[in-house]
Amino acid sequence: MKNKKVIVGFSGGADSAAAALILKNKGYEVLGVTFDFFGDEPLLKKASALAKKIGIRHECIKRQLEFREKVIKPFISEYLRGYTPNPCVRCDAVMKFRGLMAYANEKEAEFIATGHYLRLEKRHGQVQIKTSADSRKDQSYYLYTLDQEYLSRLIFPLSAFQSKDAVRAFLEKEGIALPKSEESQGICFIPDGNYARFIKKETPLMPEGRFRDRFGKILGSHNGFYHYTVGQKRGVPAISEKKYVVTALRPEINEVILGEESDLYQKKIFLKELHFIDGSLYSGEIQFKVCRWGYLYQGTLHLSGDHRGYLECEEALRAPMPGQSAVFYDRDTLLGGGIIEYK
């Protein structure tokens, strides 16, 4: 190996600590990097102290303005267009991995590494991402935008671990004891999970809007379409004991369309920004998920040009959300994905 220098994405948690320590024990020159997206001084101090304890070099890089421009603002913009965007996919692509690669190039490091519980496998000259053995820790869904330039230099040191408990046991054996903490499952810049409150705070006051049925009949009023997502039942008026569900949003006129549960099911999903990890654009039978924790569906992908296409699903899906990603798999191999759009 010509160059054993590796840049590790270092959050200061158990996973990144274990990843850095494994690489150090294997003889790599490890440099831990913490991206500062929020000006969280306690977090930065914690990461720095942990890096010192492990015995690796460490650097914090301020990225608050870039994070707001490239992740938060697009999230707000898409939400106000009636989409339900997934900022974690965007953040991994344009902030975390791109940032690690740029820093690796600056420091003349051959490799980058993260604490994902995933495996890499080389086949037919291509590097593939394999899903985690522990489905609860599998984060492959968010990484479908990566390409061979990144994968050829990427290391997942935790690929052999089955669980967070196993990682903690490894660290304790190495003399690194960390307090247990709750793992974040939501959007990092909306920790309370209240998207509507966040959007309301970030945008001008919106006038009262209307609930309508699909025929145009007014069913009630609301205080902003962004309080609702397709498939939502909570907060929706019941008329004459009939229970409605949100079936569509019309952001340009601040209207929420209500209908019946059966209206939500679709067998055709339209996609944009299609990307495959091996650099190809594939059409044909494929497996896919529409959320990280989701069921692996079967369908057929059809291409329509300009990195767009649509999925014909073997079974109807309930409320596939425009703005979310449909991510493609071949059993335990991540293939690529695209963003669900309105049609």
Q: Which residues are catalytic?
A: 91, 188
SS3 string, 66-107, reads HHHHHHHHHHHHHHCCCCCCCHHHHHHHHHHHHHHHHHHHHC
User: In sequence order, what DSSP letters do the residues of 157-182 get, joined into one string?
Assistant: GGGG---HHHHHHHHHHTT------P
**Biggest alpha carbon distance in the chain?**
74
Q: How far is C-alpha 296 from the chain's CA centre? A: 17
Angle at 120 between CA 173 and CA 126, to 5 degrees: 160
The pair of structure tokens assigned to 51 is 């890096």
Report how far residue 33's alpha carbon sits from residue 55's, in angstroms, rounded to the nearest whole number.
14
Angle at 62 between CA 57 and CA 67, to 5 degrees: 130
Q: How far is C-alpha 112 from the chain's CA centre? A: 19
Pinpoint the alpha helices (H) of 183-301: 195-202
Q: For residue 313, what are the contacts with CB-CB under 8 A and spacing of at least 6?
A: 266, 267, 268, 269, 297, 298, 299
Hey, how many other C-beta atoms are within 10 angstroms of the C-beta on 245?
19
- Residue 25 has, within 13 A of its CA and on its CB side, a CA count of 11
